[in-house]
Structure formats: structure tokens, C-alpha cells
Amino acid sequence: MSANIIYSNAENFKKDVLERDQPVILDFYSEECSPCAALAPIFDKLAEKYGNKMRFVKILRQQNRELAASLGVKSSPTVLFFHKGTEVGARFNGYIKKPQLRLEIEKILGITPESVKLSKVSADVLILGGGPAGLSAAIYASRARQNTVVIDEGVPGGQAATTFHIANYPGTPGTVTGKQLMENMLEQAKSFGTRVDDLKEVMEVNLRGDLKTITTEDTIYSAPVVIIATGSESRRLPVEREADFRGMGVHYCATCDGSNYQDQKVIVVGGGNSAVEEAVFLTKFASHVTIVHQFDNFQASKIAQEEALANPKIDVVWNSEPRGVVGETHLSALVVENVKTGQMSEIPVNGVFVYIGMQPRTTLVEGQVKTNQWGYIEVDEDLKTNIPGVFAAGDVRSKLIRQVVTATSDGAIAGINAERYLASLHTREYAQASK
């Protein structure tokens, strides 16, 4: 628990919230709530930064339902702001992003963008992204005594950290949770001196010139070397109102949100390894899982297919694609179309988990590094991009195989070649100085 956060209740609500002279940000949270768990590190980070100007308070909604109801709070998490006994500002609920809260906090505190003084951090190597590739690159670069900084827009670990179990990573006892594996990598990188700045809002990346810069909401980082390891993200469900139901029935991580559907019916969209494996995982919670797939056969491995098709809790709707979502505040059905017959049908369901492929997270570097037709960064065998001093590693780069072990391999290659590139710069500088 952060020392900057007050854990309150209905009895102390007046004292902790209404009678404060400072503005108050109040988080009504619940236990076993995925959006609440996602918000927790964001709330902690903001409390560290603004705790001297604003009170950060959390109240467990499950134990204070009457208070929550009296304030019109119907779901978790819900974040409210108060000042001198009156609610001010906007309300936020569901999956809440850090920029939303930061901007509202600064608005209430009267902090303007012009008044924010950006701190400056210089390094030898900047790594954008803290997943398997980024952390592996950090381990190698830091161990080579390079001043290394990892900048992550989320919590370090990447997609691997949300994987229920990883059964094919060398050196592990058969299986290991993705979370544990990534925690090990993070601690190893830190042990060699890596600085990890997480939950950063990256505003601009400038890769041109000898000194590259990455600008966040409060810091300008600079270094002669940048390793891009931003990974990829799930393709969104291609239907109208998808964003309205994101976190409220539409999900992209079974490990994160599957437990919310105990004894309920869910759908998995997709037919590759991720879709089929996560469908099996969801049977730990759901009463029934329906896989909706656009083809008449899976693209998953034979082992994954056999396990799914043998599970009595799983059935498959073949040759079908999603066409719409139904519901008011929470999804209640998925509309699908049979692509061969054109017949539309509505499947009553409590939740939909989407696994229809990935897309690279390259928005921040578009127009600077060379990418292929799908947006993945093109590199040579040393993981060098078209820009000197810029490397790309992991799922963000163009390659055929995307596994945790290939991401860590990429990270090692990038980290080693980053150190060699820096050494070549020093050699050139020495040679010029000697003339």
C-alpha cells in the first residue's frame, strides 16, 4: 500500500473526503475486479506525483455499498473528485487510462501544460517498451555497463505478463506463469543497473540525428541509441460500439478478465493458437465457451485443437464472423454472420474474448523507421533499422515467429549490438580527436 493513499470507509468518508481543504480524488474499487487491478498502479503513480497537492483516497465498494449508492456509484472502479465538500470535475469508470486522470487532476489543480517543467534524463541506451524483448535488451546493455533506461507506457511485462502459463520457455520447470517470468526478467534488469520508468505517456519520439529523444508528459530522455521494443497489440473486434463495451463484455485478455465470468457463458472469437488455448483456459471459470471462427478449421497447433475439441464445455460456430454487439451498459449478445450462407444470428452471451491477430505498436515512430506493408519495422540480421543507432526487437519487427523466447533472443541481439554501436562511436570520436 502506498503511503500517499488513504484507505477509508463510510464511517470516515466525511473526515477523509468532505472536510479536506485540499482537493480529493476518490477511487471506489472492488476486489477481484480486473479494471480495478489495472487502475491500482496508475493511482499509486499519480499519488506519488501529486500527493502533496491532492488527497488520494480509496474505498472498497463491496463493504461500503450504501455510501457508494448514495453517490450514484454503480460500478467498480469509479473515480470521483471532491473539493471542500463538493464533487467537482468529471467521473471516470471501467478501464481508466492514466492520461484521463492526469489531465483531470491538473485541470482541478490549475496546472497548465505551459507551467510543467520537463525534467531531462541522459542515457547511453533508451529502450522503448518493457516486455520480454525490451527487458532482455536492458539486461545485456546494462551488464555491458551502458547507462540504460527502459520507458514503458504501461506496467513492465508486456503481453507475456498476462499469459496464464508458458510451457515452452527454456530453463523453466515445464510451465511458468507469464507474470512470474516477467517479474524475474524485470528484477534481473534492475540488478544490473537498468532504470525502469513505467506508466509513462510518450508524446513524441525523435529518432533523427546523432542524439535521439523520447518525450513523455514530464521528461525528455536523450541517448545516441534507441531500441524499439513496443511489441504488438490485439486487433479490435471489428463491429460498431466495440469501444462502448470494452471492459464491459468485450475483452482481449482471458487471464486478466476471465475470472469475472464465473459460471457464465462466453464467446472466443478466432481460431489460432491464442484463441483456442484461451478458450480452454476460460473453461476454468465459464459454464460454457463458444468459439466463433471465420473458417471451417482451426489454424492452431494440433495439440491445442485436440484439447479444445475434447472439452465438453466448448463448442464451435464455424464459418462465421462477428457483425455486432447487443446490450445497454453491458454486453448481452453477439451478432454473427455465416460467411457462406449469409445467415445472421444472435448468440446470447455474457462476455466476448477476441483473438483475431495482432498489430504492431508503431504509431510513435511512423514516418521515421522503415516498415513493411503490415506496419512491422524492417531490420537486418543485427536488428538495425534504416536509422543509425536505432534497433527494433520483439513482436514490433517484421519476422515469421513471435514467441517469448524469440523476443528475448531479439533483445539480446539488440542489446549487444547497441553496445557495439556505442563502442564504434567512441572509436570514431577518439580517432577524430587524435588527428
Q: State the virtual CA torsion across 137, 138, 140, 143 in degrees, nearest 10.
A: 170
Separation between Cα atoms, residue 270 and residue 298, nearest integer Å: 9
Q: Which of 257, 296, 315, 395 is catalytic?
A: 257
Known active-site residue 257? yes
The answer to whether 333 touches 346, Cβ cutoff 8 Å, is yes
Known active-site residue 256? yes
Separation between Cα atoms, residue 81 and residue 79, nearest integer Å: 7
Q: Which of 16, 27, 256, 410 is catalytic?
A: 256
The answer to whether 128 touches 201, Cβ cutoff 8 Å, is no
Of 155, 163, 181, 196, the C-alpha closest to 41 is: 155
The answer to whether 85 touches 76, Cβ cutoff 8 Å, is no
Q: Which of 16, 33, 253, 395 is catalytic?
A: 253
The answer to whether 75 touches 94, Cβ cutoff 8 Å, is yes
Scan for cell 520457455, then name that residue: 169
Amino acid residing at 30: S
Known active-site residue 36? no
Burial degree of 165 (CB within 10 A; 0-12, 13-18, 19+) = middle
Active-site annotation, residues: 253, 256-257
